[in-house]
C-alpha cells in the first residue's frame, strides 16, 4: 500500500512539474513584447526589404509611399533617439530616391535631398552624416548642380576627414570643377560647405578697435573643433536693422561699449566678443549706412576671440542675443522713432488718465456718444452673420489693473501672421502623412482674409507659399513691418499619439517639462541649450511686452477653444503657457505662438484635413485678435 501511494505521489509531482513548464512557456509566449524604438524601426525596415526584393512592388508608388509614411512615424516618435532617429531619416531619403527611379518625378528626388540635408543638420555626430553628405554630392552632380556638389563634398572632407566616405568623396571631388571665387557668396550655407580659411592671429588687423598681438604662435590658427564665424548678413528698413552672425558651433559672447574718440573721429561703438572662435579670412565687413548703423566690422581680437564692432549711426536701442540650430548671434538696432509703448512714461500716463477722468466728469454724454460711434464703426466692418456668431471670450481677471497699452488705448491695425515651418522644413508629420507646414499656411491664409475683410486689419504673412524661412527672418519681418501683434501658427506633436488639445504660448522661461519639450520641438534644439538661454533671455524680458503677450495669448486661447468646441466638444483646452520660443525672441510687439492641434493624433490629424475645421481655427484666431483689440481700445477710452 505504501509502495502504491509513493508511485501515485511521484506521478502527480511529475504531472504538476510538466504543466508548470508548459504554463511558463505559454506565459513567455503570450507576454507583451516591448515595442522598443529599434524594434519599430526593424519592422518598417522589413517592409522596405519586401518592396526591394519584389519586382512588382518596386514599381508600385503606393507601396513606396506607405513605407515612407511608416518610417516617418518611427522618426517622429523617436527623433530624440540618437540611433533610431538618424536611421529613420536615412531610410526616408533612400525610399524617396528609389521611388524617383520609378516615377522620375523631380519632387521625389528633391524630397530625398531635403531628408539627407535634415540628417546632416540634426545628427552631425552620427556615423550616417558623412554618408548623407556623400549622397548629396552624388545627387547634386547627377542633377548638373556642380557647385553644390563641390561644396557639399568639400564639407564632408572638412568635417569627416577620417570617415568611411572620405576616399570616395576625394575621387568624386577631383572630377568636379571648383566654383569660381567671384561666384561664391559668403553665407552660412556656402562657407560651411567649403574648407574655411581662418584668419591668422599673427597678422595685424587694420582696425584700431580690433587689436591683435603680433607675436601669437601660428599653430593656434587651425585648432580642430574651434567654432568659425563664417557669415554676416543684415536686413534694414526705416527705424530697424537686424544683423545676423553665423557661427559653426555655439560660443559664449560678452557685449560692451567702446567710448567715442573725437580725435580719431570715432563715435561710440557697440561690440561683441565671441569666444572661443576664429574668423574666416575672406569674410568681409558689412557696409550698411542705413542711418541706424554705419557698418559692422569683424576681426580676430586674439587667438580665440572674434570681436564684432557695430559703428553706430542714429540708433538709440541695440540688443544682442543668440538663436540655435544652427547657432547664430543676432544684433537688433532700433531707431528713436520706432514705437515702444511698453516703456513706462508715468507723466504721460498720468496726463491721459487725468484727461479721461475730466472728460467723464464734465461731459459724460459726449463720452458715451464717442463710445457708441466707435462701436458703430466696428459694426460696419463686421458682417451681420459674423456679429450673430461672435461671442468673444474675455479672460477672467480679479481687480482690474490696466496695462500700458490699455491705458493708451492702443489698438491692433497691423498684424503679422507666421505660418510655421515651410520648404525643406516640413515641421511635424501626422500618422497619415499630413505635414504641419501645409496646415499652418492654409490657416494663416484664411485668417488673413478674415482679418482684412471683417475687421479692417492690415495683414502680412511671413510666407505665402511653401518656402523655408529661418527663425530670425520671421521675427525680423514682424519688426520691419512695425506690426501691432505677431502670431506664429503651429501644430503640436508628441511621441504618444494619444495626446490632443489646443495650447498657446508667450515668451518666457518654461516653468514645466511639457512646455520645455514643446519649445525644444519648435526650436529644433535640446533642452540643454534652452537652459543656457536663460541668462540672456532674462535680459531681453526686462523690456519685452510680456504682459501684453500674455493677455493676447489668453484671448486667442479662449476664443480658439470656444470656436472649435462648438463642433468638436472633445477638444481639450490645454491652456496658456510660457516657454522660450526662438521665433518670438526679439519681437518688439506682443507676440504669441499657438499650437492649434496635435497633428500626431490620428483624430486631430483628420480634423486638420477638413476644410470646415480649418475655417473654425481661422475664425477662432480672428475672434481672439478682435477681442484683444476691443479690450485694449475700450480700456483706453474708459470702457
Chosen domain end from 115, 146, 181: 181
Q: Could you list the mean pLDDT of each consecutive 10-residue stretch along the chain, which spans 639 residues?
A: 55 49 40 67 92 84 86 78 90 90 82 87 88 92 87 90 89 80 34 45 43 33 70 84 91 86 80 92 81 88 92 84 83 79 39 42 46 46 40 54 46 88 91 95 97 92 90 87 93 87 84 62 52 58 74 94 90 87 84 95 95 96 91 55
CB-count exposure of residue 202 (10 Å: 0-12, 13-18, 19+): middle
Query: Is residue 385 domain-shared with residue 286, that is, in the same domain?
Result: no
Residue 513 lies in a domain: yes
Query: Is residue 264 domain-shared with residue 382, that is, in the same domain?
Result: no
Query: Is residue 159 domain-shared with residue 235, that is, in the same domain?
Result: no
CB-count exposure of residue 411 (10 Å: 0-12, 13-18, 19+): middle
Give the cell for residue 258.
Answer: 567702446
Per-residue b or e along 429-457, where b marks 16 or more CB atoms closer than 10 Å to that residue's CB: bbbeebbbbbbbbbbbbbbbebbeebbeb
Q: Give the pLDDT score at 281.
A: 81
The CA–CA distances, whole Å, from 245 to 306, 464, 490, 529 equal 11, 26, 27, 18
Helix (H, G, I), strand (E, B) or coil at 444: helix
Q: Which residues pair with 416 in a beta bridge?
A: 460, 486
Query: Is residue 169 domain-shared with residue 236, that is, in the same domain?
Result: no
Q: Give the pLDDT score at 471.
A: 84
Give the CATH number of the domain where residue 48 resides: 1.25.40.10
Give the cell for residue 275.
Answer: 569666444
Query: Is residue 325 domain-shared with residue 396, that is, in the same domain?
Result: no
CB-count exposure of residue 38 (10 Å: 0-12, 13-18, 19+): middle
The pair phi, psi for residue 69, each rounded to 5°, is -60, -40
Query: Is residue 102 domain-shared with residue 232, that is, in the same domain?
Result: no
Domain total for the chain?
3
* 315 within 8 A of 292, measured Cβ to Cβ: yes
Taking CA 278 as the corner, what is the angle to CA 275 and CA 281, rounded to the nearest 5 degrees? 150
Pairing label, strands 293-302, 286-287:
antiparallel
* CA nearest neighbour of 620 among 381, 447, 456, 493: 447
Dihedral class, residue 423 (left if φ above 0, else alpha if ψ from -120 to 50, else beta): left
Query: Is residue 166 domain-shared with residue 252, that is, in the same domain?
Result: no
Chosen domain end from 282, 313, 334: 334
Query: Is residue 580 domain-shared with residue 461, that is, in the same domain?
Result: yes
Q: Give the pLDDT score at 521.
A: 66
Helix (H, G, I), strand (E, B) or coil at 575: strand
Chosen domain end from 147, 181, 215: 181
Chain centroid to CA 504: 15
Give the CATH number of the domain where residue 424 resides: 3.40.630.40
Q: Give the pLDDT score at 532.
A: 54
- Residue 522, domain extent: 371-636
Query: Is residue 494 domain-shared with residue 622, that is, in the same domain?
Result: yes
Q: Which residues pair with 329 in a beta bridge?
A: 245, 322
Per-residue b or e along 371-391, where b marks 16 or more CB atoms closer than 10 Å to that residue's CB: eeebeeebeeebeeebeeebe
Residue 21 lies in a domain: no
The pair phi, psi for residue 361, each rounded to 5°, is -70, -40
Query: Is residue 559 domain-shared with residue 412, that is, in the same domain?
Result: yes
CA–CA gap between residue 272 and residue 332 (Å, rounded): 13
* 200 within 8 A of 279, measured Cβ to Cβ: no
**Number of Cβ atoms within 10 Å of the Cβ of 187:** 14
Chain centroid to CA 274: 24
Residue 6 lies in a domain: no
Q: Which residues pair with 307 in a beta bridge?
A: 273, 299
HEC sequence for 103-163: HCCHHHHHHHHHHHHHHHHHCCCCCCHHHHHHHHHHHHHHCCCHHHHHHHHHHHHHHCCCC
* 380 within 8 A of 386, measured Cβ to Cβ: no
Q: Give the pLDDT score at 61.
A: 86
Residue 144 lies in a domain: yes
Residue 215 lies in a domain: no
Q: Which residues pair with 330 in a beta bridge?
A: 244, 321
Residue 605 lies in a domain: yes
Query: Is residue 318 domain-shared with residue 428, that is, in the same domain?
Result: no
Pairing label, strands 305-312, 240-247:
unpaired
* CA nearest neighbour of 127 among 92, 87, 97: 87
Helix (H, G, I), strand (E, B) or coil at 250: coil
Residue 587 lies in a domain: yes
Q: Give the pLDDT score at 144.
A: 84
Query: Is residue 394 domain-shared with residue 533, that is, in the same domain?
Result: yes
Residue 201 lies in a domain: no
Amino acid at each position: 500500500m505504501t509502495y502504491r501511494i509513493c508511485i501515485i505521489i511521484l506521478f502527480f509531482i511529475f504531472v504538476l512539474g510538466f504543466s508548470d513548464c508548459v504554463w511558463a512557456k505559454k506565459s513567455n509566449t503570450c507576454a507583451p513584447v516591448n515595442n522598443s524604438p529599434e524594434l519599430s524601426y526593424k519592422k518598417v525596415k522589413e517592409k522596405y526589404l519586401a518592396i526591394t526584393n519584389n519586382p512588382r512592388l518596386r514599381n508600385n508608388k503606393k507601396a513606396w509611399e506607405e513605407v515612407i509614411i511608416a518610417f516617418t512615424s518611427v522618426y517622429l516618435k523617436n527623433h530624440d533617439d540618437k540611433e533610431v532617429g538618424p536611421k529613420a531619416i536615412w531610410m526616408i531619403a533612400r525610399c524617396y530616391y528609389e521611388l524617383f527611379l520609378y516615377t522620375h518625378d523631380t519632387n521625389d528626388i528633391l524630397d530625398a535631398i531635403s531628408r539627407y540635408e535634415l540628417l546632416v543638420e540634426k545628427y552631425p555626430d552620427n556615423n550616417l552624416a558623412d554618408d548623407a553628405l556623400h549622397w548629396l554630392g552624388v545627387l547634386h552632380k547627377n542633377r548638373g548642380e556642380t557647385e553644390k556638389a563641390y561644396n557639399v563634398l568639400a564639407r564632408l572632407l572638412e568635417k569627416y576627414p577620417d570617415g568611411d566616405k572620405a576616399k570616395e568623396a576625394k575621387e568624386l571631388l577631383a572630377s568636379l570643377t571648383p566654383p569660381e571665387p567671384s561666384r561664391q557668396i559668403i553665407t552660412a550655407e556656402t562657407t560651411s560647405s567649403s574648407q574655411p580659411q581662418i584668419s591668422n592671429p599673427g597678422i595685424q588687423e587694420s582696425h584700431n578697435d580690433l587689436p591683435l598681438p603680433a607675436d601669437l604662435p601660428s599653430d593656434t590658427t587651425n585648432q580642430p573643433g574651434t567654432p568659425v564665424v563664417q557669415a554676416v548678413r543684415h536686413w534694414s528698413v526705416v527705424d530697424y536693422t537686424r544683423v545676423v552672425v553665423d557661427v559653426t558651433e555655439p560660443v559664449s559672447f560678452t557685449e560692451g561699449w567702446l567710448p567715442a574718440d573725437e580725435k580719431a573721429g570715432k563715435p561710440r561703438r557697440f561690440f561683441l566678443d565671441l569666444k572661443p572662435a576664429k574668423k574666416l579670412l575672406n569674410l568681409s565687413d558689412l557696409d550698411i549706412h542705413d542711418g541706424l548703423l554705419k557698418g559692422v566690422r569683424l576681426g580676430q581680437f586674439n587667438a580665440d576671440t572674434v570681436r564684432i564692432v557695430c559703428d553706430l549711426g542714429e540708433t538709440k536701442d541695440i540688443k544682442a542675443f543668440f538663436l540655435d540650430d544652427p547657432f547664430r548671434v543676432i544684433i537688433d538696432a532700433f531707431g528713436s522713432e520706432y514705437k515702444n509703448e511698453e516703456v513706462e512714461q508715468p507723466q504721460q500716463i498720468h496726463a491721459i488718465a487725468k484727461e479721461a477722468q475730466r472728460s467723464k466728469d464734465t461731459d459724460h454724454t459726449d463720452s458715451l456718444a464717442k463710445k457708441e460711434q466707435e462701436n458703430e464703426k466696428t459694426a460696419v466692418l463686421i458682417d451681420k452673420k459674423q456679429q450673430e456668431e461672435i461671442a468673444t471670450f474675455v479672460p477672467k481677471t480679479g481687480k482690474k489693473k490696466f496695462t500700458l497699452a490699455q491705458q493708451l488705448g492702443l489698438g491692433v491695425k497691423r498684424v503679422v501672421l507666421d505660418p510655421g515651418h515651410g520648404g525643406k522644413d516640413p515641421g511635424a508629420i501626422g500618422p497619415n502623412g499630413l505635414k504641419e507646414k501645409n496646415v499652418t499656411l492654409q490657416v494663416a491664409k484664411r485668417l488673413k482674409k478674415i482679418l482684412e475683410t471683417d475687421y479692417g486689419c492690415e495683414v502680412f504673412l511671413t510666407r505665402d507659399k511653401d518656402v523655408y524661412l529661418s527663425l530670425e527672418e520671421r521675427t525680423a519681418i514682424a519688426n520691419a513691418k512695425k506690426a501691432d501683434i505677431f502670431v506664429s501658427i503651429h501644430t503640436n506633436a508628441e511621441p504618444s499619439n494619444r495626446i490632443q488639445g489646443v495650447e498657446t504660448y508667450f515668451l518666457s522661461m518654461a516653468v514645466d517639462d511639457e512646455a520645455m519639450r514643446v519649445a525644444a520641438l519648435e526650436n529644433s534644439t535640446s533642452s540643454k541649450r534652452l537652459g543656457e538661454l536663460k541668462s540672456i533671455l532674462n535680459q531681453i524680458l526686462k523690456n519685452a511686452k510680456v504682459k501684453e503677450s500674455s493677455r493676447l495669448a489668453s484671448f486667442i486661447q479662449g476664443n480658439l477653444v470656444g470656436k472649435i468646441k462648438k463642433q468638436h466638444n472633445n477638444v481639450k483646452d490645454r491652456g496658456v503657457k510660457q516657454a522660450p520660443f526662438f521665433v518670438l525672441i526679439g519681437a518688439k510687439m506682443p507676440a504669441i505662438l499657438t499650437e492649434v492641434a496635435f497633428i500626431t493624433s490620428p483624430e486631430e490629424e483628420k480634423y486638420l484635413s477638413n476644410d470646415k475645421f480649418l475655417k473654425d481655427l481661422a475664425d477662432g484666431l480672428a475672434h481672439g485678435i478682435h477681442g484683444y483689440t476691443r479690450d485694449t481700445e475700450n480700456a483706453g477710452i474708459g470702457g
